[in-house]
Amino acid sequence: MADPTPTPGIHHVTCIAGDPQENLDFWVETLGLRLVKRSINQDDAGTYHFFYADTEGTPGTSMTFFPWGDMTRGTVGSGQVSRTAFRVPEGSLDYWEGRFDEHGVDYDDRVERFGSGVRSASENASGEAPRAETVLPFRDPDGLPVELVAVETPDDDPVDPWTEIVPAERAIRGFHSVTLRLTDPRPSEELLATMGFERVGTERSRGDTPGDERTRFAAEGPVGKYVDVIPTVEAGRQGRGTVHHVAFRTPTDEDQESMRRAVRREGLRPTQQIDRHWFRSVYFREHGGVLFELATTDPGYTTDEPLKDLGGRLVLPGDFEDRREEIEA
């Protein structure tokens, strides 16, 4: 059986929010991301679905939210994505701390990761070792744990940052990583290897729960390429301020199907492909309980709105358009 085409990394991360307007204000006006799609939860038409990303909605940049205002706040723990990290240009963290002070954002002191004391993985065929990085942890209005990681951005970086709010030299440039908290990481780490991630190093965690061991896995893509894993015993509880699922890129239908079959061989139960209008998706819970999605890169967010108008209206995909009057009431 042929190995699946490796994923280049994260496609999007979907989270649970409370108040829709508060969520919009924070992710657009404070963090400076572009609202590229204003839609509904296709499994719950009474709930908005907001998509925030770079200028073009590039795969690897979109943070999406279901605003379930009546849901209680969740608890981060095992079986969850505990933190979502975004890339920002080197030298920009002073700007972001000042901006957070100005907007009343709850943030922590910076932490250093993967500097001294890192154990690189000898089995890493690519020879990559984690680079020392500076991280600024903060929380959104619902308590969702988020991080900014200062990185050197290459000249051929695929992300086109939205610069209407935050200047280009400071703007968020897509995902850096997600952190998974798992009771028994081993089977999940084997799954990550099947998906194309390589173990590149381990260190004692700082800035999450100090003293825990953090292991990093890297994909080949230029953005959203890292998954960190931290062993955790205490179970999490889904609610406001937690991640609903993380999606990984499978560029084509063929790539997705080969990955779906590989996931089944791991003893998991992926769904059949589901058409989500802007991409096609397969869902499954990995061994530790985190909900994973495999998402194609096409057709993208401009399939139903021109680039200049992204996010300007409520988009109702497929048969939902016939229910517009009911949904907008």
**119 beta partners:** 202
pLDDT at 122: 41
- Flag whether pLDDT at 166 surpasses 50: yes
pTM: 0.94
Could you give the C-alpha distances from 296 to 10, 62, 276, 280, 291, in angstroms and in order? Answer: 11, 14, 10, 5, 17
Where along the chain do its domains lie? 10-328
The torsion angles phi and psi of 245, rounded to 5 degrees, stand at -165, 165
CATH 3.10.180.10 fits 10-328, yes or no: yes
- Flag whether pLDDT at 17 surpasses 70: yes
Average pLDDT over residues 52-80: 97
3-state secondary structure of 282: strand
Query: Containing H/E element for 254?
Result: helix 253-265
Average pLDDT over residues 58-77: 96
Least confident segment among 12-26, 79-93, 106-120, 254-268: 106-120
The 10 Å CB-count burial string (b at 16+, else e) for 160-196 is bbbeeebeeebbbbbbbbbbbbbbebeebbebbebbb
**76 beta partners:** none
- Beta-carbon count within 10 A of 98 CB: 10
- Residue-wise pLDDT for 96-114, tens only, equals 999 999 999 999 999 999 8
- Flag whether pLDDT at 323 surpasses 90: no
pLDDT at 196: 97
